[in-house]
Structure 1
């Protein structure tokens, strides 16, 4: 939220010399985060008002270029006018503009000089709002209202460059702070100064409705107000003071009617929508959308509506996406003179879902999804109507529509001494009641039957977040100042170090990082469509998901049952940004609901849950094991002077699993498998004993295409919690005796897995066989059709003596015999 200091202090009885830094410190003191304080007085040198006396259009260039003679009075000495090159076309002869004369330094260190350009000499610059630091509008230069100044006047004071802008980061529970009204009230509490509420204004009685309105779904809309203004001049300009305030708040000026609605929204916190009343057909109905209905919004996009969407309809159907964006058919145009002002109160959760579903964030939606004061709607429409009358020559219609009945805030009762107890300090008598009164609560003090002092606070309509005693305590504490609460650090118990599971997790992270993988923190949610692209069967346990009630993204609103969707999304995003050779990993929890997942009971917050409720809560929790996963794409080894590189392949994904296992101190058994989303012929299953702990390999080509991944992308995922945790840390035994190295090549059926043959050879070789390593695979005429030759390097060693050649040969023959017995293997010559 960006707001100029001059606008904030307009509603406060405060000293004129109060600095922006003082206000920022006051905001911080009561718990609001100030991101930046920007002073506008960064223009140095002569900045004056000029009148455009003559314009010469230079037509020999590809873009519009104007050579202007601008009267600047005596600001430039004896020379009463300056010749200036300008590319903007939104002004004409006689317009008042802001001129930076040679020697002026604009924000950003941009120095203005007299220079030759486009074949003419330019003696200064005609400034836009962005060039003056007043906003981001750069579509045209700043044109001042006629009669507001004379040529040669100092423009700094006229455009308000002595002002400052405070930018705040407003938390979701303080929606009322998205307005000057709310922020000024907070400052009055922090600085203990009088405050004038801009929403307190006379709202005259209405002579009938402006237009008949029916609310079919009161859960979607609790109040709806219409106020009509006729005879508005469509060409009436927005007054400079309003354009300036909107620009400093980050909102671009569009037209008087639209600017007025934005101005009132910033002032009171109530978003408004302006309709062209002549384009509405019949009565207005507020309801949920029907499945399949369509609406073309103001941005020209035709949107398919969801049954959860709230829409405003006339006889033709939906004409507005409530609280998010209006429809194109009722838009205020260049000839609109009959304006219908709408102020409504929408269900915050529904608005939040609509914004994410249609990807339409807006200033209005930002306020509606946090909750808007339902009592301010009539005052907001009345203020907007008065502004249209004052600046657009409109006439307020006698009728006003006001339907709906917002629920009154529920009173909250708490002990008067509860803030003292929570803070651990003693507050003076009357502090609790005074502070709660300052934020707008209606206070009643009483005594319980036990003689305990109680305070009952009825929250104001703009504070829907005050729903329990803890909320009231927070208000008292923050207004008294968090700095007054003593900070007492608890004494640290004697440390026991990291748990074994924590040490193992860190060891695995380090091992993968040392192997060239980069750890990422992917988005923890996924969508059902991703599971479809994975090709998971209908009964696959990974399809049993839990949906988030208010997901951050409508397309990804279920808890992930596997780490691969998030990792692959991170990989694809990196690829789209120019990265080609990637190796990413993540260690995190997945959520695996059971076939019949119990529902969690609502235990409330007024008293501790019972043992039965705690047991029910634990029973409702789904399994949340920790997994470790890795994905690879591109080159695994780069080409260089050291030799030819290679692409990442399925063997690298299997190697990643072994890296995890080695760091965890376990041994994996690897066998071939067929499991989505991996390629059927390039998928490995990992087991520890009889327990399947994960899979790795190359992803299926259909999955790669569906997710727009690089060709031959590989992935690995292990159930980290399924790996046995052991405290054993055996020291490596290094023999001082030399080994005997022998090779053996065995011919077996092509379907025999190399890992299983290696395991049989290892067990057959006995205690003397120290290591078995596959170094060659051959298929061809020399071994026959349907056969393959697997060559192993065997390392024999005795721990207590020098091994004889004959002993090693005998152990090798035993290993070969075991292979013959299990797989009908033949020794290849």
Structure 2
């Protein structure tokens, strides 16, 4: 919110300097983000009038002007050579006298005016444009001043260029401060200075025409006021004072009717809209849009509408986006003669987020989605009408005011003892009552409790803590005592059997993965395709229309990161993310760490794409595959031994996907991206992805000390012929299942499979070379016990898989 200090002081003028006023606002929660002068420093620039203007004898683009600077001309006229295209007799312009200093140029040095000659003609000063004075970027000609500007007056005084522009960084709860009057109300409450609220008189009605309006959806619009004004002149000139104030609020002047609407918005915080009455077909309907309807907006964009967007429509088409922007079809123009002025109360929830659907934002939408006072629509139409008549002329009709669903403000109670405890300093009931009185918050007092009914302009007061905040900021944060904390500080010690999330991050980084951080809200398409989630949790107010649902898987975010990197020619991508996912679960109850009906577990997910190893001379280049990422997961979970079981997942290749299990419980999946989604997301090579339960990944068994055996282990190698269908893990498990516990490990060290069947290997068989390690901690193994243990191991795999010793 940007505004000039002079405008604020017209409504409330406390005995404070500019710096003190800025500090007051900041300490009251209205942070002054920037404070700068309207114009940079310059001297000896005054109001002057061009009395004569003749062509330069030696230059086609220069004119020799005789200028009257009033008393500063010392009884004569000053001769100025000027090249501005609008230099003509009768206009008043800024004149830089000899000795004047203009604002610094691009080199940072001030420009000093001296006596000079231009093409042989003396020049006794310089006529200035707005750009040369650093007032705007307009350099199309001289800055023309009003005809009543007094000659010889300093431009700084005449244009009030010593004014200061304030820029406030307002939080969303301060909607009532999105106007000069709203800020003045706060300054009055903070300082006790009187609030000079102008009286708005009713405009005399000169005809009885009323435009019929039908409010069809009261959950969209709670109040709608409008008035017909006939016979306006849209070609009138916006007064200089209004243009100046709009410019100092950061708003460019457009046309008188548009400027008036914008002026009242900055003045009282009331966005409004002015329709060309003759372009409206029949009456107006205030309703939710219908699927398939479109609207060409004032900014030139044509948008498609749906049932979640509010509109104002006539009998033929949609004419305006409710509370956001008007339509091009009914916009005022130079041919407009009759207008319809509209001021309405739109429910904040009906406007919030709608602008972002169409990738733009407006001042009106910014205010309506935070809450605009519903009580003053009629008064503000009177204010707009009076300005229209004063500037553009016209005849006003009666105001049509419909109030089908005005908001009801629920009283909020504040306990004095509770406020003192939260703020951290002693409070009396009298102090709190004085604060609410200064803020204009009506209240009912009982012993130790103040019950406030929020006024119509305060949409942010809904709970007790809101009132406590008001007390704290009005009394002043400087009053807060320095109170040391009373609670004991106890270190939170992480269990030894649990590693931190940072340790997980470091482990993945050591495996050559880079961490990414992504939004928790994603495209609905990702949820349906990559997570199989047909009913994701929708975001009520998305920051962008595609990011409309909460994610139940991290895979979609990583695929998007991959596409982003591939678009920038990254040859090898290995990324991971640790984040929260969301899905519906009726068993979840609301608490400090949970939301009722929503499960929010943490996940760790990774993606590998491109070469298995960076380009190097010692290893052949090959694409990363399932087994590379499987090895990364084993390293991440080490020393625990995960089991990989064939499985299916919506995002992964049905034949190249496995469930990751620990102790018989599935903790996630790993696999190659499904061919359908690889093609759908336009990927030349399928990446390999995994997603695991972070809580389980963080578990780490505590090492237990064991005595080193005094006996020596024995190794025996077996060549076992088995079917191709026998899994390695199952074979090793069977070999190790020794009742005596002598077989300590079974390690596969060779695989042999001929190209065609041989005498000892049939079609569909292979030879697996396995090394058994045997050990008895209590006694030395004898040959008989070793042979018996080996024979028992062979018998187990023979029984389970039909294995036999080769040869």
- The answer on whether the counterparts of 1:440 and 1:459 sit within 8 Å (CA) in structure 2 is no
- The answer on whether the counterparts of 2:102 and 2:133 sit within 8 Å (CA) in structure 1 is no
Question: Equivalent residue for 1:485?
Answer: 480
Question: Equivalent residue for 1:530?
Answer: 526
Question: Equivalent residue for 1:673?
Answer: 647
Question: Equivalent residue for 2:27?
Answer: 29
More displaced stretch, 486-495 vs 667-676: 486-495
Question: Equivalent residue for 1:260?
Answer: 260
Question: Equivalent residue for 1:696?
Answer: 670
* Structure 2 unmatched ranges of 5 or more: 113-118
Structure 1 residues 108, 465: CA separation in 2 closer, same or farther (over 3 Å shift)?
farther
Question: Equivalent residue for 1:582?
Answer: 573
For 2:135 and 2:801, locate their aligned partners in 1 and report how far apart those are by CA, in whole Å: 82
For 1:735 and 1:424, locate their aligned partners in 2 and report how far apart those are by CA, in whole Å: 65
- The answer on whether the counterparts of 2:288 and 2:311 sit within 8 Å (CA) in structure 1 is yes
- The answer on whether the counterparts of 1:562 and 1:590 sit within 8 Å (CA) in structure 2 is yes
What is the DSSP-based 3-state SS (H/G/I as helix, E as strand, rest coil) of the residue aligned with 2:176?
Answer: helix
Q: 2:685 aligns with which of 708, 711, 721?
A: 711
1:550 deviates by: 4.4
Question: Equivalent residue for 1:401?
Answer: 400
Question: Equivalent residue for 2:659?
Answer: 685
For 2:253 and 2:602, locate their aligned partners in 1 and report how far apart those are by CA, in whole Å: 52
For 2:88 and 2:371, locate their aligned partners in 1 and report how far apart those are by CA, in whole Å: 48
For 1:38 and 1:479, locate their aligned partners in 2 and report how far apart those are by CA, in whole Å: 26
- 1:130-165 CA-to-partner distances (Å, cap 9, x unmatched) read x87667x77977854453769998655555543332
- 1:309-337 CA-to-partner distances (Å, cap 9, x unmatched) read 22212121321111112122101223223
Structure 1 residues 418, 669: CA separation in 2 closer, same or farther (over 3 Å shift)?
closer
What is the DSSP-based 3-state SS (H/G/I as helix, E as strand, rest coil) of the residue aligned with 2:512?
Answer: coil
2:211 is the counterpart of 1:211: yes
* Structure 1 unmatched ranges of 5 or more: 57-65, 115-119, 537-541, 602-613
Q: Within 5 A, what are the aligned runs for 1:348-497? A: 348-391=348-391, 393-404=392-403, 406-415=406-415, 419-428=419-428, 430-445=430-445, 447=446, 452=447, 454-486=449-481, 487-497=483-493
More displaced stretch, 525-534 vs 212-221: 525-534
For 2:648 and 2:695, locate their aligned partners in 1 and report how far apart those are by CA, in whole Å: 23
For 1:2 and 1:618, locate their aligned partners in 2 and report how far apart those are by CA, in whole Å: 39
2:225 is the counterpart of 1:225: yes
Structure 1 residues 470, 644: CA separation in 2 closer, same or farther (over 3 Å shift)?
same
1:258 deviates by: 1.5
What is the DSSP-based 3-state SS (H/G/I as helix, E as strand, rest coil) of the residue aligned with 2:334?
Answer: coil
Q: 2:630 aligns with which of 654, 668, 677?
A: 654
For 2:108 and 2:783, locate their aligned partners in 1 and report how far apart those are by CA, in whole Å: 85
Higher-Rg structure is 2
What is the DSSP-based 3-state SS (H/G/I as helix, E as strand, rest coil) of the residue aligned with 2:631?
Answer: helix
Question: Equivalent residue for 1:624?
Answer: 600
Structure 1 residues 22, 808: CA separation in 2 closer, same or farther (over 3 Å shift)?
farther
1:345 deviates by: 0.4
- 1:512-538 CA-to-partner distances (Å, cap 9, x unmatched) read 1222333333222334322333273xx
For 1:815 and 1:158, locate their aligned partners in 2 and report how far apart those are by CA, in whole Å: 105
What is the DSSP-based 3-state SS (H/G/I as helix, E as strand, rest coil) of the residue aligned with 1:275?
Answer: strand
- The answer on whether the counterparts of 1:583 and 1:630 sit within 8 Å (CA) in structure 2 is yes
What is the DSSP-based 3-state SS (H/G/I as helix, E as strand, rest coil) of the residue aligned with 1:434?
Answer: helix
For 1:738 and 1:128, locate their aligned partners in 2 and report how far apart those are by CA, in whole Å: 96
1:351 deviates by: 0.6
Q: 1:593 aligns with which of 584, 594, 598?
A: 584
Question: Equivalent residue for 1:561?
Answer: 552
For 1:779 and 1:70, locate their aligned partners in 2 and report how far apart those are by CA, in whole Å: 104
Question: Equivalent residue for 1:38?
Answer: 36
For 2:601 and 2:510, locate their aligned partners in 1 and report how far apart those are by CA, in whole Å: 25
RMSD, aligned CA:
4.9
1:759 deviates by: 5.4
1:109 deviates by: 5.2
Question: Equivalent residue for 2:179?
Answer: 179
- 1:27-82 CA-to-partner distances (Å, cap 9, x unmatched) read 122122333333444456887889997999xxxxxxxxx96669696999987224
Question: Equivalent residue for 1:239?
Answer: 239
- 1:523-566 CA-to-partner distances (Å, cap 9, x unmatched) read 22334322333273xxxxx4454344445455444332222233
For 2:318 and 2:800, locate their aligned partners in 1 and report how far apart those are by CA, in whole Å: 74
Structure 1 residues 495, 276: CA separation in 2 closer, same or farther (over 3 Å shift)?
same
- The answer on whether the counterparts of 1:289 and 1:310 sit within 8 Å (CA) in structure 2 is yes
- The answer on whether the counterparts of 2:227 and 2:341 sit within 8 Å (CA) in structure 1 is yes
For 1:757 and 1:686, locate their aligned partners in 2 and report how far apart those are by CA, in whole Å: 19
TM-score, normalised relative to structure 1: 0.79
2:509 is the counterpart of 1:513: yes
Question: Equivalent residue for 2:116?
Answer: none
More displaced stretch, 175-184 vs 562-571: 562-571
- The answer on whether the counterparts of 1:634 and 1:710 sit within 8 Å (CA) in structure 2 is no
What is the DSSP-based 3-state SS (H/G/I as helix, E as strand, rest coil) of the residue aligned with 2:669?
Answer: strand
- The answer on whether the counterparts of 1:778 and 1:788 sit within 8 Å (CA) in structure 2 is yes
- The answer on whether the counterparts of 2:128 and 2:143 sit within 8 Å (CA) in structure 1 is no
- 1:783-810 CA-to-partner distances (Å, cap 9, x unmatched) read 9997586877969697999999999999
- The answer on whether the counterparts of 1:55 and 1:93 sit within 8 Å (CA) in structure 2 is no
For 1:132 and 1:788, locate their aligned partners in 2 and report how far apart those are by CA, in whole Å: 92
Question: Equivalent residue for 1:63?
Answer: none
Structure 1 residues 618, 294: CA separation in 2 closer, same or farther (over 3 Å shift)?
closer
- The answer on whether the counterparts of 1:285 and 1:313 sit within 8 Å (CA) in structure 2 is yes
For 2:61 and 2:786, locate their aligned partners in 1 and report how far apart those are by CA, in whole Å: 98
Question: Equivalent residue for 1:202?
Answer: 201
2:695 is the counterpart of 1:721: yes
- The answer on whether the counterparts of 2:642 and 2:662 sit within 8 Å (CA) in structure 1 is yes
- 1:677-712 CA-to-partner distances (Å, cap 9, x unmatched) read 012232222111221111112212322343455732
Structure 1 residues 204, 338: CA separation in 2 closer, same or farther (over 3 Å shift)?
closer
For 2:93 and 2:571, locate their aligned partners in 1 and report how far apart those are by CA, in whole Å: 52
- The answer on whether the counterparts of 1:232 and 1:394 sit within 8 Å (CA) in structure 2 is yes
TM-score, normalised relative to structure 2: 0.81
More displaced stretch, 260-269 vs 309-318: 309-318
- The answer on whether the counterparts of 2:87 and 2:142 sit within 8 Å (CA) in structure 1 is no
Question: Equivalent residue for 1:60?
Answer: none
- The answer on whether the counterparts of 2:523 and 2:548 sit within 8 Å (CA) in structure 1 is yes
